[in-house]
Structure 1
Amino acid sequence: MASPSSAPSAAPGTVRFASSGSSYYAVVLALFCTIIVVSNIVAAKPIEIGTGSFTLGPVQVWPLLVDGGAVLFPLAYVLGDVVAEVYGFRAARRAVLVGFACAVLAVLTFAIVQRIPGASFYANQDAYEAVLGPVGQIVLASVVGYVCGQLTNAWVLTRMKARTAERALVVRLASSTGVGELVDTFLFCAIAASAIGITGFGGFLNYFVVGMLFKCAVELLVMPVTVTVIARLKAAEPTY
């Protein structure tokens, strides 16, 4: 006879999701929002990878152009995959909207503080405006790209899971991230390029293609970690 605490395991083909009311979801959500806010701030700094210059027609091929957000932002898609796979589309959508609200709150705070007169001995107002001034445009770009990209990512992943259940996890993660990053990166670059000093079609194409490839490469490199985190969360969540 089975013990009272035992529960029948779901069939292999059953599509399952955990409840988002757990403490694990709260931790993932906090990390997700932190990544969004920090990435929007550091994205104000353009970064060139390589020296010299090489163009192919109107396209600047070298050096490669990214922004500071590339350091951390790809992990938002890793966490987005974790949330969508373990908790489902509604929980992923909630994470996206909360991250959006946090980013907007940060921008409003920066703008208000920028307009408040500094102390008589404060000599860094110009530096403050130079660093945080473009953040508003960057956050607009981030919000448009991030909301569209993350929701696309979550939708593709959960639709694929509806067909494959617990099978083909790596295929779901790679496919959903590729589509989501394509949407996100294009929209972000189209809006944010001028805020960080990137002009012209060639510079934009470099910025977009390099950003897209870099983010997808990070996703693939950390795929074993993503799969491990998902497996442990599924095992730890009693509602899964």
Structure 2
Amino acid sequence: MSDQINMDAGSPFNKFTVITSLYIILLIISNLMATKLVTFWGMVLPAAVIAYPLCFMTGDVLTEVWGYKTAKKVIWLGFFANFLLVVWTNIGVYMPYPDFWQGQEHYKFIFNAVPRITLASFAGYIFGELTNSWSLEFIKKFTGERFLFIRTIGSSVIGQVLDTLFFFTIGFYGTVPNKVLITMIVTQYLFKVACEALGGTPLAYMLVKWAKKDNSVTPPGSLSNCI
């Protein structure tokens, strides 16, 4: 048996599996990073802001190559994976631990998510990702296979609105002044869209090109028209 991984469309370890795994890994990384607050040019943002736009980008690749119906299934799979992460890490919080272990409060701080924040995260993810994926396929009806950057950036502009609005409104409304809440929503939205446009879109081009190459889902000759 060859040691080389078979990346053909018919292989159990194919390109769809790789992109799907990358999507879910980025989603889980984003949720684990979300408890850390960082500052960018005077703006206070969750550290996940550097990873979550890449999750959106990977969702764009799934929709671009395999279509909205397939991407929607992966989005729900990501939701289930995130739900399991929350459930099992919170079970770990309440498991008994030895007296000499000094890390309980640190572990609890990271994983004992406030229910309201968890709900906000789930709502933002579902509405944002589904809208992002649907928007990309809708825009593609007008652009065809060309101008991938219009689809990736345009869909993120739309999807990130819902993701950011749902997360901050559900998670923080009534706990911070409305003026501060609006500032948080606007700054994080602009930052995430900028990350998608400047960093995510070039990566999307590379992943789409790789996924469509020698892939049975790609019509012959369509790869050269995606620019």
Same fold (TM over 0.5): yes
Match of residue 189 from structure 1:
168
* 8 Å Cα contact 1:186/1:208 also seen in 2: yes
Aligned partner of residue 213 in structure 2, secondary structure: helix
Q: For residue 229 of structure 1, what is the aligned residue in structure 2? A: 207
Task: Please state if 1:127 is matched with 2:106.
Answer: yes
CA contact (8 A) 1:103 1:139 kept: no
Partner amino acid, structure 2, of 1:48: T
Q: Decide whether aligned partners of structure 1 residues 141 and 30 sit closer, same or farther in structure 2, where only a CA change above 3 A counts.
A: same
Give percent identity, aligned residues only: 29
Q: Which residue of 1 aligns with 2:66?
A: 87
1:36 aligns with 2:27: yes
Secondary structure, in 3 states, of the residue corresponding to 2:207?
helix
Q: Superposition pairs for residues 40-59 of structure 1, below 5 Å?
A: 40-50=31-41
For 1:134-173, list aligned pairs within 5 A.
134=113, 136-173=115-152
1:112 pairs with 2:91: yes
How far residue 135 of structure 1 moved from its aligned partner, in angstroms, is 6.0
Aligned-partner Cα distance in 2 for 1:200–1:47 = 20
CA distance in 1, matches of 2:13, 2:64: 15
CA separation in 1, counterparts of 2:181 and 2:214? 44
What does 1:4-83 align with in structure 2 at a 5 Å threshold? 23-50=14-41, 63-83=42-62
Aligned-pair distance for 1:155?
0.7
Structure 1: how far apart are the matches of 2:132 and 2:75? 11
Matched to 1:68, the amino acid is A
Aligned mates of 1:45, 1:199 — CA distance in 2: 18
Check whether the contact 2:75–2:129 (CA below 8 A) recurs between aligned residues: yes
Farther-moved stretch of structure 1 (127-136 vs 65-74):
127-136
Q: Deviations over 1:53-91 (max 9, x none)?
A: xxxxxxxxxx31211211211101110110000000011
201, 211, 228: which one aligns with 2:178: 201
Is contact 1:33-1:102 (8 Å) kept?
yes
Q: Greater relative contact order (Cα 8 A, min sep 6): structure 1 or 2?
A: 1
Alpha-carbon contact 1:145-1:188 (below 8 Å) kept: yes
TM-score normalised over the length of structure 1: 0.79
- How far is 1:137 from its partner? 4.0
Secondary structure, aligned partner of 1:236: coil
Is the CA contact (8 Å cut-off) linking 2:50 and 2:195 kept in structure 1?
A: no
User: For residue 181 of structure 2, what is the amino acid of its counterpart?
Assistant: F
With normalisation by structure 2, the TM-score equals: 0.83
Give the superposition deviation at 1:128.
1.6
* Structure with greater strand share of residues: 1
Change (3 A) 1:48 1:81: same
1:100 to 2:79 alignment: yes
Name the CA distance, whole Å, in 1 between partners of 2:93 and 2:145.
50
Shift of 1:203: 2.2
Matched residues in 1 for 2:115 and 2:181: separation? 20
Q: Kindly indicate whether the alpha-carbon contact (under 8 Å) linking 1:44 and 1:68 is maintained by their aligned counterparts in 2.
A: yes
**Which sections of structure 1, spanning at least 5 residues, go unmatched?**
1-17, 51-62
Q: Is the 8 A contact 1:40 1:135 kept in 2?
A: no
Whether 1:217 aligns to 2:183 is: no
For these two proteins, the number of residue pairs brought into alignment is 209
